[in-house]
Amino acid sequence: MLLPVVMAGGSGTRLWPLSRTLFPKQFLALTSEATMLQETLQRIAPLAHQPAFIICNQEHRFIVAEQLRKANLAHGGIALEPVGRNTAPAVAIAALQAQARGEDPLLLVLAADHVIAQPEVFCQVIEAAMPLAQQGNLVTFGIVPTVAETGYGYIKQGDQIECGASKVAAFVEKPDLVVAQSYLADGRYLWNSGMFLFKASVYLNELSKHHPEIVNSCQQALTLAQKDLEFIRLDPNAFAACPDDSIDYAVMEKTANAVVMPLDASWSDVGSWSALWDVSAKDTQGNVLQGDVLTEQTRNSFIYGQHRLVATVGIDDVVVVETKDAVLVAHKDKVQDIKGIVNQLKQSQRPEQLQHREVFRPWGSHDAITDGERYHVKQVTVKPGQKTAVQIHHHRAEHWVVVSGTARVYRGDESFIISENQSTYIPLGVAHAIENPGQLPLVMIEVRTGIYLAEDDVVRVPSHGAGY
C-alpha cells in the first residue's frame, strides 16, 4: 500500500513578506483557494493510499492540524521535529513508524510546497513508477526541463530501463547559465524535484548502510517520543543529535539502486516571486494581480495587495507585495536577493521576519491594530468552544470589548458572561482567560495599557487547563 509522506517543514524566506518563519509558504494559498499543503494532499486523491504521514516543525503543529481539518483531509499522524535535520532523518522517522506498526509500505515522499498544474499526469507517473519501487529500486522523479534553469539541481539519466525510467547516472549541483544551457541541449538532464518513491525497508536498509547514525538517532527519537493528541513529539535530545543530511546526499548518490522517472506535469517549487508569476494566470498585459489592485501602463508584473489599495503606474517586470506590516518592491530579475532583506531583519531581530501581524493560535488568532507609548490595541478572535490560556501580567492591564459573539470571562476567582457591546477590565497581576461558549466566532478588541506591553510579560497558570 502507498503511504504518502509529506514534508511540511521549511521557512520559505524567498517569498517574504507573505511567507514568514512562523507561517511559511506551504501554509499559504498562492495559486488557488487551497493552501499548498492542502493541494499536495488533494492531488493524490485518485491514488489508492493510506492516510498521509505529515512531518513538520513543532511551531507549526496547530497550523497543520487546522488546515487538514478545514479541508477534511485525513492523516496518519503528525510528527513534530524539535529542530530541523533535513529530509533524510524526516523520511527515516516515517519509515520507522511504519515498521513499528508491522508494515512495509511504499513511501511516496512529497514536499508540501510544490505546484503541479497537471495532477492527473502526476498520478499516472506515480502509478507507473510503483512496480519499480516494489522491485527494490529507489525512485526519484526528474522534471523535464523547459528552460536553462540555474536554480535547480539536475539528474543525469543513464541507461533506460522499464516503465520509461532510467538508471541515475549522476546527481549534479546547481549549474551556472552556460552549463545549464548545455544540459538543456543535451536532453539527458532533468531537474531534481526532491520527490521519491521506495519501500520503507529498502530506504532504511540503504540509510543504515551509508549513514547508520541517522537511523540510530531517529529510532531513539521515535522510541522516546511523546504522543500528544494527533501529534508525535519526537524526543528533542535524540533528534538534535541526528546528523543533518538530505536524502540525495545520504542515500541517493551512494546507492546502486537509484532510478529516475521523468515527470512532465507543469511542476514548480515556487521558489521565488518570479516563479509564482510564471505559474499564475495573467491578464492581457502579462500582469498577475491579487487583491485590491489598480494598474496603469504596467506590464509583466506581480502585484499583490493584502490589506489596502495598491496602485502602480508606468512600471514593467516588477514585484509588489503589500501585507499588513510590510511592503516589498523588487525587480523580477532580482527577487532571489530577497534573502538579503530577510537577513537584515534577522540581525535586527525585527518581528516582520518571524511572523505576520496577525498571529494564529490553536484557540483562534490575534491581530495588532495600533501601538502607542503606553498602549497597544489588537483584535482577538476565539473559535467556538475554545479557551485561551490562563495567564497573569505584571506590567500591564487589559480592557476587553466584545464586538460580536459571547465571551465567558475568567478573572481571578470570578467567572461571568459578556456579549456584544459589553466590556470588562483585567487589572495587572490578576489571573485571567477568555472562553467562547457559543456557536459563532467571538471577536473582541483588547486594549493593553501599562509601562511594558510586550508578549513576554506573561506567566502561564497551567493548573486551570487552558489553551496554549
Q: What is the model's pLDDT at position 465?
A: 41
Position 344: which residue type?
A: Q
* DSSP string across 103-171: --PEEEEEETT-EES-HHHHHHHHHHHHHHHHTT-EEEEEEPPSS--SSS-EEEEEEE-GGG-EEEEEE
What the block records as the C-alpha cell of 300 is 509583466
Which alpha helices (DSSP H) does 232-336 contain, by range? 236-240, 247, 273-279
327-331: strand order across its sheet: 288-290, 302-305, 318-322, 327-331
What the block records as the C-alpha cell of 405 is 459573539
Q: What is the model's pLDDT at position 197?
A: 98
DSSP 8-state assignment for residue 175: P
What the block records as the C-alpha cell of 404 is 460580536
Position 440: which residue type?
A: L
Q: What is the model's pLDDT at position 454?
A: 85
What the block records as the C-alpha cell of 3 is 503511504
DSSP 8-state assignment for residue 305: E
Nearest to 155 by CA among 207, 209, 194: 194
Q: Which H or E run contains 439?
A: none
Q: Are 368 and 397 in contact (CB under 8 A)?
A: no
Q: What is the model's pLDDT at position 234?
A: 96
What the block records as the C-alpha cell of 411 is 478573572
278-303 burial, b for 16+ CB within 10 Å, e for fewer?
A: bbbeeeeeebbbeeebebeebeebbb
Residue with cell 493548573: 463
Contacts of 33 (CB under 8 A, 6+ apart): none
Q: Are 355 and 23 in contact (CB under 8 A)?
A: yes
CATH number of 358-464: 2.60.120.10
Pairing of β 226-228 and β 52-57: unpaired
Position 273: which residue type?
A: W
- Radius of gyration of the chain from its Cα atoms, rounded to whole angstroms: 25
Distance CA 79, CA 97 (A): 10
Distances (CA, A) of 179 to 149, 154, 334, 402: 10, 11, 21, 62
Q: What is the model's pLDDT at position 22?
A: 87
Pairing of β 327-331 and β 318-322: antiparallel
Q: What is the model's pLDDT at position 463?
A: 53
**CB atoms < 10 A from the CB of 31, how many?**
16
Distance CA 420, CA 407 (A): 9
Q: At what angle do helices 200-210 and 87-100 cross, to 10 degrees?
A: 130
Q: Is the sign of the CA dihedral 344, 346, 351, 357 positive or negative? A: positive
Domain residue spans of the chain = 2-268, 273-343, 358-464
Q: What is the model's pLDDT at position 467?
A: 42
Residue with cell 499536495: 40
Contacts of 266 (CB under 8 A, 6+ apart): 115, 116, 117, 118, 279
**DSSP helix, strand, coil percent of the chain (3-state; round to 5):** 30, 35, 35
Which parts of 383-430 are beta strand (E)?
391-392, 396-404, 406-411, 414-419, 423-426
Nearest to 259 by CA among 341, 179, 157: 157
Q: What is the model's pLDDT at position 361?
A: 83
pLDDT in single tens digits along all 468 residues of the chain: 899 999 998 777 899 999 998 899 999 999 889 999 999 999 999 999 999 999 999 889 888 998 998 899 999 999 999 999 999 999 999 999 999 999 999 999 999 999 999 999 999 999 999 999 999 999 999 999 999 988 899 999 999 998 889 999 999 999 999 999 999 999 999 999 999 999 999 999 999 999 999 999 999 999 999 988 789 999 999 999 999 999 999 999 999 999 999 999 999 999 899 999 999 999 999 999 999 999 999 999 999 999 899 999 999 999 999 998 999 999 999 998 999 999 999 999 998 998 888 888 889 989 989 989 999 999 999 999 999 989 999 999 999 999 999 999 999 999 999 999 999 999 999 999 999 999 999 999 999 999 999 888 889 887 544 343
Fold of 2-268: Spore Coat Polysaccharide Biosynthesis Protein SpsA; Chain A (3.90.550)
Contacts of 159 (CB under 8 A, 6+ apart): 166, 167
Give how far the C-alpha of residue 78 lies from the chain's centroid of Cα atoms, to the nearest Å: 13
What the block records as the C-alpha cell of 366 is 490575534
Q: What are phi and psi of 332, to 5 degrees?
A: -60, -30
